[in-house]
A and B are shown apart, each in its own frame.
Chain A
Amino acid sequence: MNNKRGSKLITSPYLLWSLLFIIAPMFFVVYYSFTTETGAFTLEHIASLGKYAAIFARSIWFGVLATLICLLISFPVAYFIANSGSNVQRTLVALVMLPMWMNFLIRTYSWMSILQDTGIINTFLGKIGIGPFRLINTPGAVILGMVYNFLPFMILPLYSVMAKLDKSVIEAAQDLGGSKVTVLRKVIIPLSMPGIASGLTMVFVPSVSTFYISQKLGGGSFDLIGDVIERQFQQAYNYNLGAAISLVLMVLILLSMAFLNRFTSDEEGMVI
């Protein structure tokens, strides 16, 4: 297959596929956003988005919080894993990945048993004479659900850059008199930047667009933008409005991603 035609030929099934099932669906999101149910052009859906501004703001706020918490929690964990022996490393990485293969609906539901007013935490606190505290149906519970579900998406990319870090660079910085904080700030963090950038996207995107976690752990009082979209498609059957909200969500995420991508230059720069 050293000729040009051969390489075009075997790529063509994929090109056709992506045209039909990646590009065309994007076109339909735009098309539905700007048309009425009968197919006439309208700006009504886009114009009506103002009333969802508060929900958009909440989704972004919760998403940003969950992402930052994930980063803070994961950074030390990833560093510790990357610096342990190879057998321990392999086992710990497998243990980080294992929960990802469990159905996330069930894991989220299981948090309800833990957080409920009569759940495990409150029963325990009751036994030692404190509480009960209101844990479920709070913003904290929703953010906890996001952190819990997407934590591995932060640990894994961080770990994979840190495992490749050249130890001698860190030692050199220490030999040259860098304190622990300086080494962290001037060497480890800058060198982990590609991992941080892909971890941030991999946590932020699903957090900001989630719809199940907020319904189960927020008790319906903390609607996120994903909930609104889901309702348009599965209950209200207002596809056009749903498409318009999705379009805005998509643009928003692409913008934040373009911002983050400045840290990873390679076209296959994602660290999975």
Chain B
Amino acid sequence: MKIPSKIYTALIFIFLYAPIAVMILFSFNSTNSTGLFAGFSLKWYSVLLGNKNIMKALTNTLVLAIASAGISTVVGTAAAVGLDKWKKSWLRSSVMGVTNIPMMNPDIVTGISMMLLFVFMGQIVGRKEILGFQTILIAHITFCLPYVILSVLPKLRQTDVHLAEAAQDLGCTPVRAFFKVVMPAIMPGILTGMLMAFTLSLDDFIISYFTTGPGFQTLPIAIFSMTKKRVKPDMYALSSLIFVVILILLVLTNVAQARGESKRNKKN
């Protein structure tokens, strides 16, 4: 890179990280202002740890993300494996078209469309307070599924179909051939899909906002209700902690990838 390009790229990264830097700075503020820095203190971190509401929302968010990533990975992988065998036809392309809907639709439309469905169903079964864990879980699985399917399908296309056939000729049952031969080959796709599902669910606010009820608050929802009033620096403390956790995870995966790459280079 030449010097001007370096400066330009640096400026863009400063832009991307400016609000995050502000957030980290004010998480150490000694007063409850998020605009004026008065002095260094750790008190908002202890306030945060004592906030039962937020801690509950944090566990809710994690439970939801694990459940929706798990279910959407299983259902989505099965769907991809099946769809891969389908011949090109109008049926296949319409299924793929439907799969694209949650990714193409604005989140707000996905959210309200599901809310309408749930509310309608609630009226039929005579339960007004239908919105809660079950509905938000359904919503999260629904918007995660396309990402799983679209990460697994390309891997399946790269896999040699004859391998699974060979395994069956050598006496494997179709199911066993899948788990022994196909699954290891498409594992990177499955993992990518699962990771995407997990992070999407963790971070989703808009769809959750319309599909959950007062009984089940996730972290983004809790943050939203707090930003309606004045935000206190404990929210910033929480976000700074999340930032550090993600940063560590990213550094670790990066180092692992770099190591893998240099190993491969040595082999060649």
Contact = CB atoms under 8 A, between A and B. Distances in A.
A246 B111 CA distance: 10
A257 interface: yes
B40 interface: no
Nearest to A201: B104
B108 A10 contact: no
A151 B18 CA distance: 14
Q: Say what secondary structure dominates the interface of chain A.
A: helix
A259 interface: no
Nearest to B24: A110
- A-side interface size class: 35 or more
B16 A250 contact: no
Contacts of B227: 105-106, 109, 216
A179 interface: no
A243 interface: yes
Nearest to A152: B16
B184 interface: no
Interface stretch (A19-27, A170-178, A183-191): A19-27
A103 B220 contact: yes
Contact of B106 (A7, A84, A250): A250
B107 A17 contact: no
A209 B108 contact: yes
Q: Which of A84, A104, A110, A151 has the most CB of B within 10 A?
A: A110
Contact of B105 (A2, A105, A211, A253): A253
B95 A2 contact: no
A125 interface: no
Given A91-B254, A103-B219, A2 B120 contact: no
B239 A25 contact: no
Given A83-B1, A86-B261, A13 B75 contact: yes
Given A25-B113, A226-B108, A250-B105, A99 B174 contact: no
20 contacts: A9-B82, A14-B76, A80-B6, A90-B254, A101-B246, A102-B20, A109-B34, A109-B231, A109-B235, A112-B34, A113-B26, A148-B15, A206-B106, A229-B108, A242-B112, A246-B108, A249-B108, A249-B109, A267-B96, A268-B96
Interface of A: 1-2, 4, 6-15, 17-18, 21-26, 28-29, 31-32, 73, 76-77, 80-81, 83-84, 86-87, 90-92, 94-114, 116, 118-120, 148, 151-152, 201, 205-206, 208-209, 211-212, 216, 226, 229-230, 233-234, 239, 242-243, 246, 249-250, 253-254, 257, 267-268, 270, 272
Interface of B: 1, 5-6, 8-9, 12-13, 15-20, 22-23, 26, 34-36, 75-76, 78-79, 81-86, 93, 95-96, 98-110, 112-117, 119-120, 138-139, 141-142, 145, 147, 149-150, 153-154, 164-165, 168, 174-175, 178, 199, 202-203, 205-206, 209-210, 219-220, 223-224, 227, 231, 235-236, 239, 242-243, 246-247, 250, 253-254, 257-258, 261
